[in-house]
Amino acid sequence: MNILSMSHRYASAVCAVLCVFLSACAGSSQLDVTIQQSARSGVYLERIPTRQFQATHPIRLAPELIAKSLQGVQIEEGKGLLQSLSAQQNRRLSVFSQDDIALLTPAIADGLSQAAPDQQVGFHIVQKEHFEGRDRTGAGVGSGNAPQRNQESTTSGKLFVYGRSLYLTIQQFRHHTESPDTINMPNRRLPEPTGLRNRTVLFVPESALRPDIYAPPFAAGEGLTTLVIDYDTLAKAPTVAVPPTPSAPAPTPAVAPAAIPSTTPPLHDDVQQIKDQMKQKEREVEELRKELEDIKRQLGNQPTKGGQSPSSKP
């Protein structure tokens, strides 16, 4: 009787473990292959949470294109109460430094060339921040000298390719494992898992960014933004000067004098240029429409709880 009872308990435990494992496989990303791992960075392949979605993998993208994609990601700082009362514009920061881009680009390109249709590329980079902190002895603000301190933070994200678009999500931005200063109020940070609170993820040039309605629901978590980058347009776009990373002081931009055309172009040239631009936009809209329909078709074929996909219903 005891043996039967023990066997029954063992079988129940095994079933419970299997259920937890299967549910985790179906609802979260799984780490499959490590592409690069070091003290500074990591790049790896993981499962796309929705098994019915098939990305355009494996694919070979030029390292220069991947570097340009990372270079274009920016963070706009939200305004506080005092800042919102002023006319000062929100500060923009580059998410990745040139060293970060040089370190991540080859591994991401390698990951995309190895990824299966049901995999995406995840990455993280450890960054160092330099700031002025105060001694933790409880000295008041304004008393004593401010010692120079360095602290490490982590920026992470994921990306995959579908059609002619690169889907890039920043999951963490300069996330600190501990508060850099618990005494000096201006430097105090409350626990926040993403580092994106009161911040907006942007991309330059904006002409290479597609509407976020083309991002599948699984591409970003709650409060996150998925950038849908038209990499053909990005490849043709000129390199845009981006703001510095937080670790470097922002240079004062030089104001160039406005160029004054010597002659006014003929009117018919302007009309022809507008017509050409309209035709190009119509082609882009048609491509976007087809791509969105493909994504909806894939997600619409997801099996229901009864084991049948919506299209298989009588």
Asked if residue 129 has pLDDT above 80, the reply is no
> Which of helix, strand or coil describes residue 206?
helix
- How is residue 207 annotated by DSSP? G
223: left (phi over 0), alpha (psi -120 to 50) or beta: left
Nearest to 194 by CA among 159, 217, 222: 222
Q: Are 229 and 212 in contact (CB under 8 A)?
A: no
Q: What is the mean pLDDT of residues 17-29?
A: 41
Q: What is the mean pLDDT of residues 59-67?
A: 97
Query: What DSSP letter does each residue of 161-201 carry, written as one string?
Result: EETTEEEEEEEEEEE-SS-S-SSSGGG-----SSS-TTEEE
Structure tokens at 255: 């104001």
Q: What integer pLDDT is reported at residue 32 of this predicted model?
A: 85
The answer to whether position 284 is within a domain reads: no
Element (H, E) at 289: helix 267-300
The answer to whether position 313 is within a domain reads: no
The answer to whether position 5 is within a domain reads: no
Tens digit of each residue's pLDDT (9 = 90 or more) over 69-89? 999 999 998 755 444 445 556
Angle between helices 63-71 and 98-114 (to 10 degrees): 130
Q: How confident is the model at residue 110 (pLDDT cuts 50, 70, 90)?
A: very high
Supply the mean pLDDT for the chain: 74
Greater model confidence, 246 or 102: 102
- How is residue 260 annotated by DSSP? -
pTM for this one? Answer: 0.64
Q: Are 157 and 122 in contact (CB under 8 A)?
A: yes
Q: What integer pLDDT is reported at residue 293 of this predicted model?
A: 80
Lowest mean pLDDT among 125-134, 150-159, 197-206, 288-297: 125-134
Cβ within 8 Å of residue 212, ≥6 positions away: 225, 226, 228
Q: Are 154 and 174 in contact (CB under 8 A)?
A: yes
Q: What integer pLDDT is reported at residue 302 of this predicted model?
A: 61
Q: 114 lies in which domain range?
A: 28-135+145-253
Greater model confidence, 268 or 207: 207
The answer to whether position 291 is within a domain reads: no
Asked if residue 153 has pLDDT above 60, the reply is yes
Q: What integer pLDDT is reported at residue 124 of this predicted model?
A: 97
Question: What is the count of structural domains for the chain?
Answer: 1
What phi, psi does 247 have (nearest 5°)?
A: -80, -10
Q: Are 151 and 131 in contact (CB under 8 A)?
A: yes
Structure tokens at 156: 């992470």
The answer to whether position 283 is within a domain reads: no
What phi, psi does 210 have (nearest 5°)?
A: -90, 160
Tens digit of each residue's pLDDT (9 = 90 or more) over 210-228? 998 888 888 877 778 999 9
Q: What integer pLDDT is reported at residue 158 of this predicted model?
A: 97
Q: What integer pLDDT is reported at residue 223 of this predicted model?
A: 77
The upper half-sphere exposure of residue 202, i.e. CA atoms within 13 Å in the direction of its Cβ, equals: 18
The answer to whether position 270 is within a domain reads: no
Tens digit of each residue's pLDDT (9 = 90 or more) over 257-304? 455 444 444 555 555 666 677 777 777 777 777 787 888 777 776 655
The answer to whether position 247 is within a domain reads: yes
Q: How confident is the model at residue 232 (pLDDT cuts 50, 70, 90)?
A: very high
The answer to whether position 293 is within a domain reads: no
